[in-house]
Amino acid sequence: MSAGAGRRSEGSRRDLLIDIALDVIAEHGVAGTTHRRVAAAAGVPLGSTTYYFADLGDLLRAAFGRLADQVSERFEARLAPARTPGEARDAIVDYLRYDLSDEREAALSYEFYAYAVRHPEVRSMVAAWFGRSQIALERFFPPATARLIDTMIEGLCTYRGLASGPDEAEIRRALELLSPER
């Protein structure tokens, strides 16, 4: 086997462990996530998790980084075709209606935020995630408005995961109030 193939295999195993860690976190929470549980769920020896990740915090940071990237990429893709603030508002409504209905992802987000409260290095990851969303929104809205819209989106995601959220008309109205046509 060539050195390149070995590296791909190692990268693939590391990626697998990150994906499985997200599954374990979604099912058991951060408090119930261990190297042993992740290794068992991945069907790999326990030493694999400690080989690729210095400690559990390292694995959690990698998993939460993956989550932030996946959600950000989906949000950016949803906004990409928009050319006007009105089209951006429509894309945001679609994102909230179609891209955020996953209970697993909601649970992961709650775990990420709660973990970040006590871990400053992870808090900076959350801030970067929010920043990435705001940059995507700033294509259409002034920075202060982009931040308010992002805050609304995060709040709606939290709200919808725990209770029935606003309907499409209420979301559209809120976006219009935050970013009126000029």
Q: What is the per-residue pLDDT across 159-174, written as a single tens digit (0 to 9) for each? A: 777 777 788 899 999 9
84 φ, ψ (degrees, to nearest 5)? -130, 165
- Residue 99: its pLDDT value, please? 83
Final residue in a domain of this structure, among 53, 73, 96: 53
Same domain, 77 and 158: yes
> Residue for token digits 């549980």?
37
Provide the pLDDT confidence category of residue 182 given band limits of 50, 70 and 90.
low
- Residue 9: its pLDDT value, please? 55
Same domain, 46 and 78: no
107 vs 22, which has greater pLDDT? 22
Final residue in a domain of this structure, among 11, 33, 53: 53
pLDDT in tens, 67-92: 999 999 999 999 999 999 999 999 99
CATH code of the domain in which 125 resides: 1.10.357.10
Domain hosting residue 17, numbered range = 1-53
Q: Which of 69, 130, 61 is nearest to 105 (CA)?
A: 69
CATH code of the domain in which 12 resides: 1.10.10.60
